[in-house]
Amino acid sequence: MTGMRVLLCFLCLALASSLAAQSRTDKPVITMGVRVDAKPFAWYDRSNDSFLGFLVDICTDAVTRAGYPFTQIAIDAATRAAFLKGEGPQIDLLCDPTTITLHRIQRFIDLGNDGNTPERFAFSPIVFVANGTFVTAKNDDYGILTEPADPALCHGHPAPEPAAEENGDPATPVHFAAGFVTGTTVDEVLKDIVARNLLNLGENEFACPVPQPSHSEGIAAFCRGDLKYYFGDLDIVNAYVREQATLNHEPCEFDVSSVATSYEPYAFVVTSKTPGFRPDFNKAIYEVFYHGTAIDRFKGHFEGMDMSAFLETLFRINQIPEGSPQTDP
């Protein structure tokens, strides 16, 4: 009789465990779009057919903590640009270093009110703070354009009229290629830093924006001399410069601007494609910070690097108190 009771208890526990496991998988599968070319934040590793990066880990940690199964699809720069305009794939979550801007927030509001977009977009809590910057090739002959695609987009210091060389011929403007990833806005930034003379352009020298399909291809172009300048998050630039140095077996030499060109607060874009997912995910983001998981992920992906004062403050802000039913109304 005792053996029968033990067996029944075992069967009850097994049934309870099975039901609990089933309940955990009752939630719908979340489609996570992952950027393939934004090391060290998000990228696709062909060697083991997987998505890697600091933000990829934070995404998967939060989705898993929220209790959702998920699938991942690749998002390149062009697809990301289309998605942010409401024209891309229908996904639940964009796992990408996307900067929150007032313009993007307004665009998301407009997309949700036009009646044509099946899901509304919103930002998650901010999960990283970076500084946009630019690097300059040390080789003076790098990045000279024979003919810019659109001279009207170039910024520089025109020679005073009449501009002439010693032989009396008109002085020829020099145009330098400034690379950046397509889908990002660099025109106003470029205009501002030229006005502040941060590029050290001489008289009748101009910097011209030249969009690149990805950071990997952009840095490759920069290192082989097609670009004079490259704009982006310094962590991303350094990651792909190291990649190029490994591939080419030679260093890619450049100077880093001593002045940050922009403040880049990164967050995830979460849609309302799956009802109830967004609030669950946002709560889980705070839990990832509260339990110290985010700090562990940072240490793993930025080994040997100290947090900036801004980033350390952000991590502290995101470690909101747990609270309790007794103290919270």
The amino acid present at 302, given as its one-letter code, is: F
- Distance, in Å, from the CA atom of 179 to the CA atom of 232, rounded to the nearest integer, reads 9
Low-confidence ranges of the chain (pLDDT < 70): 1-25, 114-119, 159-170, 185, 187, 328-329
186: CB partners within 8 A, 6+ apart: 178, 180, 209, 231
- Distance, in Å, from the CA atom of 119 to the CA atom of 125, rounded to the nearest integer, reads 19
Task: Give residue 151's pLDDT.
Answer: 87
C-beta pairs of 46-51 under 8 Å, 24+ apart in sequence: 51/95
- Distance, in Å, from the CA atom of 42 to the CA atom of 96, rounded to the nearest integer, reads 6
Task: Give residue 234's pLDDT.
Answer: 85
Query: 92, 98, 97: which is closest to 54 by C-alpha?
Result: 97
CATH 3.40.190.10 region(s) of the chain? Answer: 28-130+265-318, 131-262
Q: Which CATH superfamily is 28-130+265-318 part of?
A: Periplasmic binding protein-like II (3.40.190.10)
Asked whether 220 and 190 are in contact (CB, 8 A), the reply is no
Assigned CATH for 131-262: 3.40.190.10
117: CB partners within 8 A, 6+ apart: 86, 111
**pTM score of the predicted model:** 0.76
Task: Give residue 2's pLDDT.
Answer: 46
